Structure 1
Amino acid sequence: MTMNEKKPYLVDAVIGNSSLLATLGRTGKMYRLWWPHIDTPQHMDAMRVGIHAAEGAPVEWFDEAGNGWSHEIGYVQGSNVLAIKAASQQAELTINSRHFAVPGKDLLVREYALSNSGNESKQLSFVLHSSFLISENSLYNTTMFHAEADALIHFRHQYFFAVSSAIVCTKFQSGISWENVQQGELNGNMIDMQPTGAMSWQLTIAPGETVVLPIYIAAAHNEQDAVQLLAEARQKTSGQWADETNSYWQSYVAQAVPCPVDDARIKELYERSILTFKLMSDEKTGTIIAAPEFDETFSRCGGYSFCWGRDAAFITTALDKVGLTDLTDAFYDWTLRAQSPDGSWQQRHYHDGQLAPSWGLQIDEGSSILWGMWQHYLVKQDRGFASRVWPSVLKGAQFLASFIDEETGLPKPSIDLWEEREASHTYSSAAVYGGLKAAAGFAELAGEYELAEQWSEQADRVKAAIEQSCFNEELQCFYRGINLTVSSDKYNEGISAGKQGTVLDLDKGYKKYVLKHDPIVDISLLGISVPFNAVDATDARMRSTADVVEKLLTVPNVGGIKRYEDDIYIGGNPWILTTLWLAHYRFATGDVEAGRNYIQWVLEHRTETGLLPEQIDKHTGETAWVVPLTWSHAMFILAVFMLAEAN
């Protein structure tokens, strides 16, 4: 009974209010809707809108690409209100729509202004078909028509979604398939144990006239509250709600630190990044998600609608730069709840701090959180914050200290930041250095001077081990890591090629095959100096490492920087954040022109709506994967401030 269409991986826009979050395509088609948290649960199967011009004719779905309809999409300047223009010469109609979540309310507004560009009056029905798979579950959904509220209500368990307009509908039907709604005939069925429903409104539009039809989606935990919120929505026009929402977002941007660089395109993306940060931050828990989910079945990746401590450390540093320190405070309060009993922070978490699907410990996650806490303290100088996080810092630093391998002086093997391999990774080691130095700073504030000295000395030993064991003299570049776990075939291949390695005996007769070095050049090697400063950016070894990174990872023709030499994820494309990482390094060493050029490349590869994706297709230069990626926006903000400081 659902629309049974595969949702695309790539979306064009995101709207929300830090409680509601929705993603849409450039035609206005809504793909997903999260509430009351921005990561889970997700409730939308699909919602479609169309025009039914004559009995016996099919519904013309104007939120569909093609079919004679053209579309333009963009955000209102300085706002998270999305505007879409759909036009058809054949239908002689232009439909301007606005889509947004009302700040502070569990209310989504979709306003449609239909303009008659023809010479004759038009009588038509506006048709809405909605399908809710609440909590992404096809079982136990019900759709009913609430006559008093003149609304369809989709519900399952404690989630209720009331859908209606300010205009009384002409027809309705609870429980109608996508196939059956095509003719626009609705039979008035009041209730059905199906996830689908439809409504239609009869409209008359004179030549040159514009008729506005708002659609409201009210979310609540029971029927009464959903109906009440719908009634509240009708107390104002959709135009008033839009004006208030635009004012809210424009005020939000105005309260942030102004863009420090006098460049119109940089300022535009700077402000869009500020607006995106707020949407990616859950107001109830403080968590920050990597991106709105788009691959919930893990068909091509492991999902993105989770909180990674590493991503968030970069993001909160950017938040502090733009003055959104309240979001940073909320996030680090959240980390106190997400910490494991042993003091570690695992790979990724849900909004409530519970462990999300995982590939195992990444030691850089917790290290980055400690480092990020300290960066936040350096900005705010808030002793209350330092006291609040100190118990967590203590446990976190003790875990890091216990994770150091006495033989190598580096952290023991764990999963790398790209979540693909196990080794003592050089980047992760630098993160541990940064985490321990941060913990030492907090220990001094707490009057724990012996601990401060102990952690600082341990950090210095990690630094020394990086310098001693992790540099590839032959390539003049840091190794990606040492003691790399590989398959038996890769091990034998490596040994045959003259590489060093060992076979370890594990419990129950299993064996682990380990190669001494991982020589693959990886952009994360820049993290040794930027941001963790385990090795100074001006050190000759770092300079040569950056040059090797640039030489081997620059993508021909399209430009930009890919993650590492033999990357195959989604085809091995250049990433926004990796390109900006090299910009960071160039700025840190005074090469302003090179850093600025990378920023310009990023500006040229924004999406149509001005968002930053994760990847750019290496052949076409078009958006390839994940929109928007919060980490991409954070790296842009950090690059902008480094540019400003360098000028």
Structure 2
Amino acid sequence: MSHLSAQPQPHAAEAPGRPGLKPTWTSSNKDAVTGALGGGRVRAAVGYGVVNEVYWPSSGEPQVRDLTFIVKTADGWVDIKRDCIYSLTPHEDGPLISIEHRLARDPAFSLKLEIMPSVENDSLLIRYELSGGTLYALLAPHLADSGEDNTAWIEGGVLYAQQGDASLAFLADGDFGKTSAGFVGVSDGWQDFNQNGEMTWQHGKAEHGNVALMAELTQPRGTLALAFAHHAAGAAIHARSSLQRPYALQREEFLATWQTWTSRLRLPSAGDAETARARLSAQVIRVHEGSDFSGAIVASLSVPFGQAHSSLGGYHLVWPRDMVEAATALLAVGQVNDAVRSLNYLLAAQSPDGHWPQNLYPNGEPYWSGDQLDETAFVLILMAKLRDLEQDDNFTRSALEWAAQRAAGYLARHGPVSQEDRWEENSGVSAYTLAIMIAGLVAAVPWLSAEEAQTALAIADDWNARLEGWCYVSGDDAPLAAKYGVDGYYIRIAPQAAEHPGQQDVSIANTADIKVKAGELVSLDFGYLVRMGLRNAADPRIQNSLKVVDGELRCETPSGPLYYRYQHDGYGNTADGGPFLGQNDGIGRPWPLLTGERGHLAVLSGGSADEYLAAMMKSSGDGGLFPEQVWDTAPVKLFEPGKPAGSAMPLVWAHAEFIKLLWTRQHQQPYEALDTVRDRYLVATPAPKVTFWTTNAPVFELTANLDLCIQGNQPFTLHFGFGDAQQWTDVQDREATLGVFGLWQVKFTAQELAGKAELHFTRRSEQNWESQDWRVKLP
């Protein structure tokens, strides 16, 4: 029977137990990730010494839960993933994954694996060599991003699986011995060994369920090919093509392409260990850019806490913020072409109204529907960074103008309050998002018309001047000030741009309805005020905030100092190390990413980043990957203090942060900051000429000598007067006029308001009056 036949044989005996156990993904504790630079579109992760999660045709589409091995030995059987001790051998030139598994009770036992995606074909190659038994491969397809409704079968010596338009074929360079298809937890190969001590089942197919395939490898050494296509026949073509060429030759080609790429890295000056980790970090970022959609970098080739659920999303999605952070890190080490591709992708993915989706699959399909204004502003900053490097001629002028005009307009219409913060948990105004937005508006200026540029800069200047009023607390709004001997500090977020931001209630996500006052909640988010070039690190407000953050969020671990996101955080493992499932029983753990952010502030304050870099490196996994979170209490079954805690690993954003911290330490300035922003706010510091009143950022008291511009996103009539709440005088109406960026506005000059005590107004839109009157105290 042909290897290329695409349907199960009708006479094949079906496995019992349909549909099998409810499917889940696997642990996101990865040892390594890999992908080829070439035509091959497969990306793969390795965890616990075996392949777990294989992505095709884009880095956003997982097709396999895991590919592991069982060994039948003279005295029983060995589950490689559970019973062995393994070690990884790094390859400096590229992500060629070499693993050796040993067995404590049998020194003669050894299983060596080398894992490498094909440069040319959509296949993953696994070179194996076994001493001490008979090897069995156990494959769990999760085709089309799901473990449900998969069909597996064996035909002509090839193991197949299919769901929808995704198919795989699994083939060896030598003939398989016994083969079987089964349902997970009932009739799969692991259950066979668990019940019978050897492979006794040989089912021909398992249809429409959570399936697994097993194959006996008759040779102690050889090569396996796991290949993908939209049809089973095509997958077999990819697998066979990969096996027909000598493995050693393909290995040479794989490393040669990576050597070429790696040789172009301009790594910051550092010690040998730091340099090696920076090199690995750059390679990790590059692996996360798939081949199917050029430039798209996903946040992680993992599903956080995936062993406990079957989420369709995970972190194999493009977050524009994470992606710009990654592309900026590649720029910092000289990989300009990669950053150009990423910007090209982002320009194409911009929504018609000007913003970027919260996250999206590499094919452009949005996943979550939140709106985070920093993600829109970040793209403008990447545009400006490439312009500073004279790389903007990689794009047509019209493409950049179109993107900048729409993005700046979106920020102007919707800022300064973002629907979601960078942690995707709260609406409000935060120093982090404001810093990115202000810098983004300034960054957009070269591609705006004169009137648009004037408005963008005026809004940026206004937000910059008002920022501390929204985000910095003192006095009664700052309950932590006395504890740390400071007069105030930046808070994590305020739900509204209010007169007393610290008095507002903030709901803590992922908890049982915990609410705290905004003034009690701090984070490292204010650090981007320095990194964007808006505030000097020596500013007393920055230094005050560092004292509070170090007291509230610093966690001393065996790896060194690590930092929490904010107090009362509910995103993280349960108290006993169980996975986060959104049941309000999670506990936020420290993030190495934030240790990098603290290291930036240390350098920019005239100190050293060394302890923070060391902590990041020590908190990584055995393969050098940076996790999202780190375990912070006494050891439990799976986790050690100061080591990965089972959330996403690798986190691409953390690898980008490590690279940029090395760069900042060498150059004593933040890589992100644009000269135009620094010159405007740290050198010239322009005084705003106008302040903008909007519904989500009302002006409560007008500063002397400022014009007042009342704005809205729809046409309105302003009904206003002067005096107090009980008695208005000089009552009149004014029609708003349409300005740039789709903003309607009524403007009062400082001269017009001189001598008046208060401005009172309400607005009418399409014959409907607002539900409240507004008041502005005049100077």
Relative to the length of structure 2, the TM-score reads: 0.70
Deviation at 1:608, TM superposition (A): 0.5
Sort the Cα spacing of 1:451 and 1:610 in 2 relative to 1 into closer, same or farther, 3 A: same
Aligned match for 2:614, one of 592, 596, 600: 600
Q: Tell me the equivalent position of 1:564.
A: 566
Identity of aligned residues (%): 21
Which amino acid is the alignment partner of residue 27 of structure 2?
P
Asked whether 1:261 is paired with 2:261, we answer no
* Gaps in structure 2 of 5+ consecutive residues: 1-16, 476-480, 482-487, 507-514, 573-586, 634-640, 670-779
Deviation at 1:5, TM superposition (A): 7.9
Q: Tell me the equivalent position of 1:129.
A: 138
Q: Tell me the equivalent position of 1:553.
A: 553
Q: Tell me the equivalent position of 1:506.
A: none
- What does the per-residue CA deviation read over 1:402-450, in whole Å, with 9 as the maximum and x for residues that have no partner? 124xxxxxx135211111222122221222101101111333xxxx233
Q: Tell me the equivalent position of 1:208.
A: none
Q: Distance in 2 between matches of 1:596 and 1:132?
A: 44
Deviation at 1:517, TM superposition (A): 5.0
Contact 2:418 2:433 in 1 (8 A): no
Contact 2:144 2:164 in 1 (8 A): no
* Corresponding residue SS for 2:138: strand
Between 1:601-610 and 1:268-277, the stretch displaced more is 601-610
Asked whether 1:240 is paired with 2:223, we answer no
Contact 2:145 2:312 in 1 (8 A): no
Asked whether 1:321 is paired with 2:332, we answer yes
For 1:130-279, list aligned pairs within 5 A: 130-147=139-156, 150-175=157-182, 177=188, 178-180=190-192, 183-185=197-199, 190-193=204-207, 195-203=211-219, 211-257=220-266, 259-279=267-287
- What does the per-residue CA deviation read over 1:302-335, in whole Å, with 9 as the maximum and x for residues that have no partner? 8322211222222111111112222222222222
Aligned match for 1:73, one of 79, 88, 96: 88
Aligned match for 1:429, one of 414, 434, 456: 434
Q: Tell me the equivalent position of 2:661.
A: 639
Deviation at 1:301, TM superposition (A): 12
For 1:79-90, list aligned pairs within 5 A: 79-88=94-103, 89-90=105-106
Q: Tell me the equivalent position of 1:13.
A: 32
Contact 2:372 2:420 in 1 (8 A): yes
- What does the per-residue CA deviation read over 1:44-80, in whole Å, with 9 as the maximum and x for residues that have no partner? 24333222346xx85433x2322xx322124323321
Deviation at 1:376, TM superposition (A): 2.4
Deviation at 1:90, TM superposition (A): 2.9
Q: Distance in 2 between matches of 1:299 and 1:192?
A: 20
Deviation at 1:616, TM superposition (A): 1.7
Deviation at 1:357, TM superposition (A): 2.2
Q: Distance in 1 between matches of 2:27 and 2:516?
A: 40
Q: Tell me the equivalent position of 2:590.
A: 574
Q: Tell me the equivalent position of 2:349.
A: 338
Q: Distance in 2 between matches of 1:158 and 1:502?
A: 49
Aligned match for 2:78, one of 54, 60, 65: 60
Asked whether 1:31 is paired with 2:52, we answer yes
Which amino acid is the alignment partner of residue 85 of structure 2?
S
Contact 1:110 1:214 in 2 (8 A): yes
Between 1:86-95 and 1:453-462, the stretch displaced more is 86-95
* Corresponding residue SS for 2:453: helix
Sort the Cα spacing of 1:386 and 1:607 in 2 relative to 1 into closer, same or farther, 3 A: farther
Q: Tell me the equivalent position of 1:284.
A: 292
- What does the per-residue CA deviation read over 1:177-225, in whole Å, with 9 as the maximum and x for residues that have no partner? 242355544666554536333221334xxxxxxx422111121222332
Deviation at 1:137, TM superposition (A): 3.7
For 1:467-478, list aligned pairs within 5 A: 467-474=468-475, 475=481, 476-478=488-490
Aligned match for 2:359, one of 348, 356, 366: 348
Question: How many positions carry a matched residue from both structures?
Answer: 590
Q: Tell me the equivalent position of 1:537.
A: 537
- What does the per-residue CA deviation read over 1:560-619, in whole Å, with 9 as the maximum and x for residues that have no partner? 22222333321332211111112112222332x2x2221122122221001111122122
Deviation at 1:501, TM superposition (A): 5.5
Q: Tell me the equivalent position of 2:386.
A: 376
Contact 2:48 2:81 in 1 (8 A): no
Contact 2:490 2:545 in 1 (8 A): yes
Which amino acid is the alignment partner of residue 65 of structure 1?
R
Q: Tell me the equivalent position of 2:67.
A: 47
Moved over 6 A (4+): 297-302
Aligned match for 2:419, one of 403, 409, 414: 414
* Corresponding residue SS for 2:218: strand
* Corresponding residue SS for 2:389: helix
Which amino acid is the alignment partner of residue 109 of structure 1?
L
Contact 1:129 1:181 in 2 (8 A): no
Q: Tell me the equivalent position of 1:304.
A: 315
Deviation at 1:141, TM superposition (A): 2.9
Which amino acid is the alignment partner of residue 564 of structure 1?
Y
* Corresponding residue SS for 1:427: helix
Sort the Cα spacing of 1:91 and 1:638 in 2 relative to 1 into closer, same or farther, 3 A: closer
- What does the per-residue CA deviation read over 1:471-506, in whole Å, with 9 as the maximum and x for residues that have no partner? 2234321233334599xxxxxxxx9xx974599xxx
Deviation at 1:552, TM superposition (A): 2.6
For 1:415-564, list aligned pairs within 5 A: 415-443=420-448, 448-474=449-475, 475=481, 476-484=488-496, 500=503, 518-530=519-531, 532-558=532-558, 559-564=561-566
* Corresponding residue SS for 2:538: coil
Sort the Cα spacing of 1:137 and 1:526 in 2 relative to 1 into closer, same or farther, 3 A: closer
Asked whether 1:614 is paired with 2:628, we answer yes
Sort the Cα spacing of 1:441 and 1:552 in 2 relative to 1 into closer, same or farther, 3 A: farther
Sort the Cα spacing of 1:37 and 1:186 in 2 relative to 1 into closer, same or farther, 3 A: farther
Sort the Cα spacing of 1:189 and 1:161 in 2 relative to 1 into closer, same or farther, 3 A: same
Aligned match for 2:110, one of 69, 94, 107: 94
Which amino acid is the alignment partner of residue 44 of structure 1?
V
Deviation at 1:4, TM superposition (A): 6.8
Sort the Cα spacing of 1:605 and 1:39 in 2 relative to 1 into closer, same or farther, 3 A: same
Q: Distance in 2 between matches of 1:292 and 1:316?
A: 17
Q: Distance in 2 between matches of 1:17 and 1:48?
A: 21
Sort the Cα spacing of 1:515 and 1:449 in 2 relative to 1 into closer, same or farther, 3 A: farther
Contact 2:23 2:147 in 1 (8 A): no
Q: Tell me the equivalent position of 1:511.
A: none
Which amino acid is the alignment partner of residue 135 of structure 2?
F
Q: Distance in 1 between matches of 2:109 and 2:228?
A: 31
Deviation at 1:529, TM superposition (A): 1.8
Deviation at 1:522, TM superposition (A): 0.8
* Corresponding residue SS for 1:560: strand
Contact 2:492 2:566 in 1 (8 A): no
Q: Tell me the equivalent position of 1:22.
A: 44
Contact 2:31 2:49 in 1 (8 A): no
Deviation at 1:237, TM superposition (A): 3.3
Q: Distance in 1 between matches of 2:565 and 2:644?
A: 16
Sort the Cα spacing of 1:136 and 1:646 in 2 relative to 1 into closer, same or farther, 3 A: closer
* Gaps in structure 1 of 5+ consecutive residues: 117-123, 204-210, 405-410, 487-494, 504-513
Which amino acid is the alignment partner of residue 461 of structure 1?
D
- What does the per-residue CA deviation read over 1:520-565, in whole Å, with 9 as the maximum and x for residues that have no partner? 21111111221x2222333232232233323332113452222223
Asked whether 1:363 is paired with 2:373, we answer yes
Contact 1:335 1:353 in 2 (8 A): no
